[in-house]
Amino acid sequence: MKNYTLLFVFFWIANLNAQEAPKMPKYNAKNAANIFYYNLSEVPESIKIKKEAIENKTLKVLRDYNSKVKIISFLNTPELTDLEHTINTLGKQLFNNRDLAERVQKQVETLILPLRDSIAVYETTLNDSLNTFLSKKQFKKWLKYQKLEKRKLLPERPKSRNNAAPPSNMNNQRGGMGGRGMGGRGF
């Protein structure tokens, strides 16, 4: 009788801890195309601009960038919302049906990649113009701020019930082998 009870408890606990399939995060087409706007009141504070003339130049360049991105966003909103709707409604069917997944992937490539490329061109012109009048330290802070803003666009990883997920690269952990791969001395 004890054996049956122990087996029942064991299988019950195993069933509770079984991994569930992660929920598919909602697809946001604007985030995938890197369409976002810089907060004009936040940027001068974050890159520590003290002179008013430089702050005015920075705000002018950022307004110009934001207006160009708004135009791109406005012109492509119907296509982006259609793509977003199809991906979010199909969801898990994309994992099972390879042909459907390939068609959606082609649709993403034809719509998102050109938008991302055109926005990248505007970003390089923005960075080039900011580099002309910002100090090296301010420009470095700007690039860091820009990188953080882009990172906010990435979808969050689905969280499992047990948050014991290992790090993505075991060799980069501190301690143990000191991040030197398979061991050895770190000359």
pLDDT band, residue 167 (cuts 50/70/90): low
In the prediction, which pLDDT does 8 show?
Answer: 65
Q: Is it the case that residue 61 has pLDDT exceeding 80? A: yes
Quick check: is 74 in a domain? yes
Q: Which one, of 140, 119, 116, 145, lies nearest residue 40 by Cα?
A: 145
- How much of the chain, in percent, has pLDDT values that exceed 70? 71
d(CA 161, CA 85): 28
pLDDT band, residue 121 (cuts 50/70/90): very high
Q: Which one, of 93, 90, 89, 85, lies nearest residue 111 by Cα?
A: 85
The CA–CA distances, whole Å, from 6 to 2, 42, 125 equal: 6, 60, 68
Quick check: is 45 in a domain? yes
Quick check: is 183 in a domain? no
Quick check: is 169 in a domain? no
Q: Is it the case that residue 182 has pLDDT exceeding 60? A: no
Quick check: is 2 in a domain? no
Quick check: is 40 in a domain? yes
d(CA 152, CA 134): 24
In the prediction, which pLDDT does 187 show?
Answer: 41
Quick check: is 148 in a domain? no
What domain count does the chain have? 1
Our CA angle for 147, 83, 68, nearest 5°, is 45
Quick check: is 145 in a domain? no
- Tell me the per-residue pLDDT of 69-120, one tens digit each, with 9 for 90 and over: 999 999 999 999 999 888 888 877 877 888 888 888 899 899 999 999 999 9
Which domain range does residue 79 map to?
28-139
**And the tokens for 37?**
């706007």
| pLDDT: which is higher, 81 or 180 | 81
Our CA angle for 30, 102, 76, nearest 5°, is 25
| pLDDT: which is higher, 156 or 152 | 152
Concatenate the DSSP letters of all residues of the chain into one string. -HHHHHHHHHHHHHHHTPPPPPPPPPP-HHHHTT-----TTTHHHHTT---HHHHHHHHHHHHHHHHHHHHHHHHHHHHHHHHHHHHHHHTTHHHH-HHHHHHHHHHHHHHHHHHHHHHHHHHHHHHHHHHHHS-HHHHHHHHHHHHHHHHHHSPPPPPPSS--PPPS-GGG-SSTTTT-TT-----
